[in-house]
Amino acid sequence: MEQHYISPERLTIARLREILDRRMPIALSEESRRRIVRCREYLDRRIEHSEQPIYGITTGFGSLCDISVGSNELAQLQRNLVMSHACGTGERVPSEIVRLILLLKIQSLAYGHSGVQLRTVERLVDFYNHGILPVVYQQGSLGASGDLAPLAHLSLPLLGLGEVEYEGRQCPASEVLDALGWQPIELQSKEGLALLNGTQFMSAYGVWSLMAARRLSDWADRIGALSLDAFDGRIEPFYDEVHLIRAHSGQLATARAVRRLLEGSELIGRPKRHVQDPYSFRCMPQVHGATKDTIDYVERVLETEINSPTDNPTVFPEEDMIISAGNFHGQPIALAMDFLAIALAELGNISERRIYKLISGARELPKFLVANPGLNSGFMIPQYTAASIVSQSKGLCMPASVDSIPSSQGQEDHVSMGSNAATKLRRVALNTERVLAIELFNAAQALEFRRPARTSPELERMVADYRRKVPFIDNDTVMYPHIEASVQFLRER
């Protein structure tokens, strides 16, 4: 099996997706190992010969930064830090996100600016490769002094503490270490801070949501094109000439995608009696395109973040410097994740409007997309469900990054709330997926009322695949299994 080597080379979102999708094992490159060892050796020499206090290494943390700690207590200081900061609560972080957090933490530590022991990073690699996923909770981080609480839970199993998910069950980390014959790590100076400071919790949520956003953006074009054809819409608003004079790249890309998807459609090519379509159809290039542009921006921000050491203090062996600064502050990605949540919510927002139009009885489609309305409610209530989801997403789009609550006796007096931005971003992504699934459910149903006319060969193939999962609805039936099957269809393709 191909292995991915953690190295100083830039880790792209595309490569990260490949690593995750193919379940590649990881290993530290020789360059990363050299950097980690060099930094640790420098830090040990600096502590031994320096009389000046070094924040978090020979002092307490946060507002306790002025309290010095004796050299014989440095290891206990770091162990205490991990234990005392494991204050997470709420829902568990999903396993696929924990796997990402582990990978991103390893990447960050491997640059050689964090002062950790090589064996500590190697144990994190072991956790990743063996599928030992620490139990982490969603609530507890302010997204400023790093993701302290969640990363403390990520780090507890290194010490033989906390819980992990392993081989399909949740159990004490100590049991797994004993079963594998591994001794707990004895943290050295600086290591607790290196593990707990950093933005890997919010970055992992951001990366997961970004990957979902790319997929959902593509689906929005596909499903929107099908809805346009089923609604007997016009193709002229998608001509290049319209979009070249405005020149937003996402707008032009969307228009071209919809035209390509509808190539060869009998429906789109037939004469139209109506002059215009509603905005939810006509303005797909402008709305879907703006989301595409947002996704591109957020990808640039997140790629910068995941290729950066974000703990504190930062150690520079070659410059003989240890600097206590603020690279753990999540503001750059907090703003971006709030932005992406808005962009994804808008894909759901415009999708719900197309759903509404499809069931409205317009353009010779039957009301609620059933042949015998009255006796049958048909697709009346899936639109309610979509409307409910869209409304919830709007509430979730209140920017978390505009808030700040001081902590640590005012030492940490401005925080990003990036972790809240991250967790609600994922909820918006899941909501948008559900709304698009409901639109596909409706659009495929509407298409059948246009027979024998056909849409494009590509969309006909998509609908044929969909029909293997979700049937045409003749008469009222229990609908929720079909909505769930639609969601799964979007995830499997």
- Contact (CB, 8 A) for 25 and 3: yes
pLDDT exceeds 80 at position 68? no
Give bridge partners of residue 480 from the DSSP assignment: none
Q: How confident is the model at residue 69 (pLDDT cuts 50, 70, 90)?
A: low
Q: How confident is the model at residue 453 (pLDDT cuts 50, 70, 90)?
A: very high
At residue 138, φ and ψ (nearest 5 deg) are -75, -30
Give bridge partners of residue 251 from the DSSP assignment: none
Rounded Cα gap, residues 443 and 456, in angstroms: 14
In the annotation, is 137 catalytic? no
Using DSSP's 3-state secondary structure scheme, residue 478 falls into coil
User: How much is the pLDDT for 82?
Assistant: 95
User: How much is the pLDDT for 55?
Assistant: 64
User: How much is the pLDDT for 47?
Assistant: 84
Neighbours of 244 (CB within 10 A): 11
- DSSP letters, 108-133, are HHTTS-S---HHHHHHHHHHHHHT-E
- DSSP letters, 236-298, are GGG-HHHHHTT--HHHHHHHHHHHHHTTT-HHHHS--S-S---HHHHTHHHHHHHHHHHHHHH
Q: Point out the catalytic residue in the list 5, 42, 55, 137.
A: 55
Q: How confident is the model at residue 50 (pLDDT cuts 50, 70, 90)?
A: confident
pLDDT digits (tens, 9 = 90+) for 373-421: 778 999 999 999 999 999 999 999 999 999 988 888 878 889 999 999 9
Rounded Cα gap, residues 136 and 418, in angstroms: 17
Helix, strand, coil percentages (3-state) for the chain, rounded to 5, are 60, 10, 35
* Token couple for 7: 């190295």
Look at residues 235, 224, 221 and name the one whose alpha carbon lies nearest to residue 264.
Answer: 235
Of 52-61, 118-127, 189-198, 254-263, the least confident: 52-61
For 433, residues 6+ apart whose C-beta sits below 8 A from its C-beta are 212, 216, 487, 490, 491
What architecture is domain 205-492?
Answer: Up-down Bundle (1.20)
pLDDT exceeds 60 at position 235? yes
User: How much is the pLDDT for 76?
Assistant: 86
Average pLDDT score over the chain: 94
- Contact (CB, 8 A) for 50 and 322: no
User: How much is the pLDDT for 85?
Assistant: 95
- Contact (CB, 8 A) for 13 and 302: yes
pLDDT digits (tens, 9 = 90+) for 73-97: 777 888 999 999 999 999 999 999 9
User: How much is the pLDDT for 266?
Assistant: 97
Look at residues 317, 228, 300, 263 and name the one whose alpha carbon lies nearest to residue 43.
Answer: 317
What architecture is domain 4-198?
Answer: Orthogonal Bundle (1.10)
User: How much is the pLDDT for 64?
Assistant: 54
Q: Apex CA 326: angle with CA 324 and CA 331, to 5°?
A: 175
Strands (E), 101-211: 133-134, 137-139, 163-166, 169-172
- Contact (CB, 8 A) for 112 and 96: no
User: How much is the pLDDT for 77?
Assistant: 83
Q: Do domains 4-198 and 205-492 have the same CATH topology?
A: no
**pTM higher than 0.85:** yes
User: How much is the pLDDT for 375?
Assistant: 85
User: How much is the pLDDT for 323?
Assistant: 92
**Ranges of each domain in the chain:** 4-198, 205-492
Using DSSP's 3-state secondary structure scheme, residue 53 falls into coil
Q: Tell me which DSSP letter residue 323 carries.
A: E
- DSSP letters, 58-82, are TB-SGGGTTSB--GGGHHHHHHHHH
